[in-house]
C-alpha cells in the first residue's frame, strides 16, 4: 500500500472520514506522513485540470471582390468577430476582383486597370489594419493575372508573387487550402449551387468551409453513427449594386452577404449581414 497511500487517503476523505480516522487506518504506513499538514495537503480538494489545447473559434471572411465590396461589410466583420470571440481568422479568397483584366466582357463604364488596382490595394490595406494576422486562401480571381499572362505566353515566374502585388502583411499566411481543427478550408472552385458546400464535405469526408458561390450562404449538416460534419458556405461581402456584378442582376438567386463562424469540427454558422449594415447606415 505504500505506493498508493496518498490516493487511498484522498478516497477516505472523500468518503467522509476525519483526518484522525484516516491516520489510524493508515497506521501501518504512518511513517510516510510527516505531519498533519501533509495529510491535509494530500486530502485537499484538487483543482480540475485545465486543458492546454482548445478548438479555435474561426471567423471566415468571405469573397469581398475589392474594390467592389459593400461599404459596411468590414464594419460588420469586426463587430461579428468580436461578438463571437473569434481567435483565428481565415479569408476564404477573392479579396480582389480584377474586373478590368477578366477574360469576360468588361463593362463600358468600368474604371481602368490601374485605378481599379490602386483602389483594391486600399481595401486590402483596410482589411490588413483591422485583421493583421490571418490565413489567406487563394480563390479563382486571385489567379486571373497569371491566367491572362499565360494566354500571351508570359510564365508565372516572370510575375510578382500575389502577396507582393497586393502588399499582404508578413503575418498573412497564404495557401490553396488549410485544415484547422480537422476542418478543411478551400475557396470552393467547382462547388456550386445550394448544396455545393455540403457536397464538398461529403466528398472530402470531413467538415468544409467554402466561399465562391455568392448566393448560397448557409450551413448544412450530415451525420452517421460515428461522425457529424458540416458544409459551410460563407456567403460574400460584395456591393451588389457595383457594375462588376451586373451580370447577376436578373438572377433568381441574389447574393447573401455575411460571414462564417466555425466553433469546432461539428459546429459552424453562417451569420447574415443584418439590415443595420445596409447602405443607408444605422
Residue 52 clears pLDDT 50, i.e. is over it? no
**102 — pLDDT class (breaks 50, 70, 90):** confident
**Among candidate residues 197, 229, 200, 202, the one with its CA nearest the CA of residue 215:** 197
> CA angle 246-247-252, nearest 5°?
100
For every residue of 67-127, DSSP letters joined together read TSB-TTHHHHHHHHHHHTT--EEEE-S--B--GGG-SSPPPTTPPPHHHHHHHHHHHHHHH
- CATH 3.60.21.10 domain locations along the chain: 58-277
CATH (residue range 58-277): 3.60.21.10
- Report pLDDT digits (tens) over 200-239: 999 999 999 999 998 899 999 999 998 999 999 999 999 9
Mean pLDDT (the chain) is: 86
Query: What's the whole-number mean pLDDT along residues 95-110?
Result: 88
Q: How far is CA 23 from CA 36, 57, 171, 189, in A?
A: 9, 49, 59, 70
Length of the chain counted residue by residue? 282
Task: Please tell me the pTM assigned to this model.
Answer: 0.77
User: Which residue did the predictor score with more confidence, 102 or 9?
Assistant: 102
pLDDT at 5: 62
For every residue of 22-33, DSSP letters joined together read HHHHTGGGGGG-
Amino acid at each position: 500500500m505504500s505506493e498508493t497511500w496518498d490516493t487511498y487517503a484522498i478516497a477516505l476523505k472523500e468518503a467522509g472520514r476525519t483526518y484522525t480516522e484516516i491516520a489510524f487506518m493508515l497506521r501501518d504506513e504512518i511513517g510516510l506522513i510527516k505531519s498533519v499538514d501533509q495529510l491535509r495537503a494530500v486530502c485537499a480538494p484538487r483543482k480540475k485540470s485545465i486543458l492546454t489545447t482548445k478548438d479555435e473559434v474561426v471567423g471566415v471572411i468571405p469573397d469581398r471582390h475589392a474594390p467592389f465590396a459593400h461599404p459596411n461589410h468590414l464594419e460588420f466583420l469586426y463587430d461579428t468577430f468580436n461578438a463571437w470571440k473569434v481567435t483565428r481568422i481565415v479569408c476564404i479568397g477573392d479579396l480582389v476582383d480584377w474586373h478590368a483584366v477578366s477574360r469576360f466582357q468588361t463593362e463600358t463604364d468600368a474604371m481602368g486597370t490601374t485605378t481599379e488596382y490602386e483602389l483594391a490595394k486600399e481595401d486590402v490595406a483596410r482589411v490588413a489594419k483591422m485583421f493583421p494576422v490571418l490565413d489567406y486562401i487563394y480563390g479563382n480571381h486571385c489567379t486571373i493575372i497569371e491566367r491572362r499572362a499565360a494566354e500571351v505566353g508570359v510564365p508565372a515566374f516572370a510575375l510578382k508573387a500575389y502577396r507582393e502585388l497586393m502588399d499582404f502583411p508578413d503575418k498573412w499566411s497564404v495557401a490553396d487550402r488549410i485544415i484547422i481543427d480537422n476542418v478543411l478550408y478551400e475557396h470552393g472552385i467547382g462547388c456550386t449551387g445550394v448544396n455545393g458546400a455540403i457536397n464538398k464535405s461529403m466528398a472530402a469526408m470531413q467538415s468544409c468551409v467554402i466561399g465562391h458561390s455568392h448566393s448560397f450562404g448557409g450551413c448544412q449538416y450530415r451525420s452517421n453513427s460515428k461522425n457529424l460534419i458540416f458544409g459551410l458556405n460563407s456567403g460574400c461581402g460584395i456591393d451588389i449594386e457595383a457594375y462588376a456584378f451586373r451580370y447577376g442582376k436578373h438572377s433568381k438567386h441574389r447574393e447573401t452577404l455575411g460571414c462564417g463562424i466555425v466553433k469546432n469540427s461539428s459546429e459552424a454558422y453562417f451569420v447574415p449581414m443584418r439590415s443595420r449594415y445596409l447602405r443607408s447606415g444605422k
